[in-house]
Structures are given as C-alpha cells and as structure tokens.
C-alpha cells in the first residue's frame, strides 16, 4: 500500500523533490512506530521512488525557482507601500530584506527584535495543525542552523518602531480584549492580538502581484529566492547566504546562487572582450 501510494504521487506529476520529501516523512513516521513497537515491520524499508529518465530537451527546459529581479522587487514593495492592506508593507519588506520563512515571520515577537544592535532573532516557527487561529503552536526550528540572528537594515528597524507605536495604541484601547502575547504581526479585526495566519500572507501577496502586474505564479517563498539572488548579485559568498537563510545545505539556494553568479561571470567576460575590441 505504501509503495502504491508513492507510485500514485508520481502519476499525479508531483516534482521529484516533493515526492522525496513525502517519502522521507513517511520513513520517519514508520521508524518511530517501529521504535514504539506499534508495528512489527517497517513498510517503507524496501519502498522506492520511481524516477523517469529525462530527455535532453526536458533538462534544458528546466528552470531554476522563480524570483524577482531587483527592479521588480522595488516595484512590488512600492505597491505594498502605496496600496497594501494593514501590515503589508512591513511584512514584505522583512521577508524581502531577510529571506526568513513566512512561518518564522508570523511567529516573531517583540522580544526577538534588538532595536539597538539592529538584529532579529529567529528562534521559533508558527504551526497551525487544525487550521483554527486560536489553536496555533510555536515550535522550534527543525535544525540548529535554522536558529539564527539576522542583522537588518535601519529601514526595517524604523518601520518596526512605527508599527510598535500604532500597536501600543490599539492595546491601550482594547485593554483586556487584546490577546497580548507580544506578537509583532497580529489580527486586528477579530481575535485581536492573535498572530496572523500564513494564508493571509499568501493572499496579500497574490493581490499585490496583481496590482503591480508582476508574475502571478510567485509565492511568498519566492521572496526567499529573491533575497538569495540579490545577495549573490551583491557578491556575498554562498556560505554567508546559507547562514543568513538558516540552512546548512539546500540545493535550490545553490541553484539560484550559481545561476546569478554564472550570469555575472558572463557579463565580466563580455566587458573584457568589449574593452579589448575598443583598443583595436
């Protein structure tokens, strides 16, 4: 049954990385069940993922993850500033300028912000198992690398200060009706003070992309790839980028980095050739 389920994922055209992630999770679950003596045999032991050989054409057509060029990012943030709903500009400014995950952003509390040293500490992520706002969980990041402290720009610090002043006024007005657990991004219409849900960020981004006439297929995770590409363009080393993003090994990040740096190398070669031609 387990093997059939893996084959079924292949028939549904899920990507290799998605199927591998599901298979890894399945193995973890059944191994734990074996350890707890809930089952006698691990059904994932000899299971395998079916991989079809790709043609040269398919390999050539494969694209790296979609992200925004710097001019597009500037337009997106300007749109968020001019036409965004509550929190939008600050949310997307932080996601774009730090590369943090949306779950990490939603879980942020004021105590995570160091206004003096201009840092944001990532120590937890948001999880909502039942899709009910009041039943959220804050869980520790999955790896040691995910727990990190990010240096941020003064623009973000100033925007956070402004946001805190507004939020303090709301707390003062609502008093006991405000669920005050120190969250930075909170619901303001109902369930005041509870952290906003990830779906809200997804919907807000879709709206802003439409207003800015940008690629509608981009997601909030694309801002993480955007951050990677712009750091690479700014000549930041891959190791530093990985450290900032909070993972020790990620092929997608490497692919984005290599793509951008490869383009930069081509440009350097072209500039050299142009210089030599000008001397003839």
By annotation, the residues acting in catalysis are 101, 221, 224, 247, 257
Using alpha carbons, select from 183, 185, 113 the residue that is nearest to residue 154: 113
What number of other Cβ atoms are within 10 A of residue 91's Cβ?
Answer: 25
Using alpha carbons, select from 240, 133, 130 the residue that is nearest to residue 185: 133
For residues 9 and 240, what is the distance between their CA atoms, to the nearest angstrom? 35
Judged by DSSP in three states, 149 sits in: strand
Judged by DSSP in three states, 240 sits in: helix
Contact between residue 120 and residue 109 where contact means Cβ atoms under 8 Å apart? no
Q: Distance of alpha carbon 20 from its chain centroid, rounded?
A: 19
Q: Is 13 left (phi over 0), alpha (psi -120 to 50) or beta?
A: left
């Amino acid at each position: 049954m387990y093997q059939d389920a893996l084959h079924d994922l292949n028939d549904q055209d899920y990507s290799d990385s998605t199927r591998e992630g599901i298979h890894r999770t399945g193995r973890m679950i059944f191994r734990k069940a074996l350890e707890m003596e809930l089952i006698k045999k691990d059904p994932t032991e000899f299971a395998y993922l079916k991989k079809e050989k790709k043609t040269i054409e398919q390999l050539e057509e494969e694209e790296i993850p979609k992200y925004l060029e710097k001019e597009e990012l500037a337009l997106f943030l300007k749109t968020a500033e001019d036409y965004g709903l509550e929190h939008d500009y600050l949310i997307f400014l932080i996601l774009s300028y730090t590369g943090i995950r949306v779950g990490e952003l939603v879980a942020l509390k004021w105590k995570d912000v160091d206004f003096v040293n201009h840092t944001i500490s990532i120590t937890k992520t948001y999880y909502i198992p039942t899709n009910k706002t009041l039943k959220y969980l804050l869980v520790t990041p999955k790896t040691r690398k995910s727990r990190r402290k990010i240096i941020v720009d003064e623009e973000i610090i100033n925007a956070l200060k402004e946001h805190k002043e507004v939020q303090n006024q709301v707390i003062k007005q609502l008093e006991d009706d405000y669920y005050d657990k120190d969250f930075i991004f909170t619901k303001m219409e109902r369930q005041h003070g509870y952290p906003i849900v990830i779906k809200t960020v997804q919907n807000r981004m879709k709206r802003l992309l439409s207003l800015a006439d940008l690629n509608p297929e981009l997601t909030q995770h694309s801002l993480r790839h955007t951050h990677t590409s712009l750091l690479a363009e700014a000549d930041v080393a891959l190791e530093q980028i990985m450290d900032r993003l909070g993972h020790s090994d990620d092929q997608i990040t490497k692919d984005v980095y290599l793509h951008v740096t490869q383009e930069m190398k081509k440009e350097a070669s072209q500039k050299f050739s142009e210089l030599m031609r000008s001397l003839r």
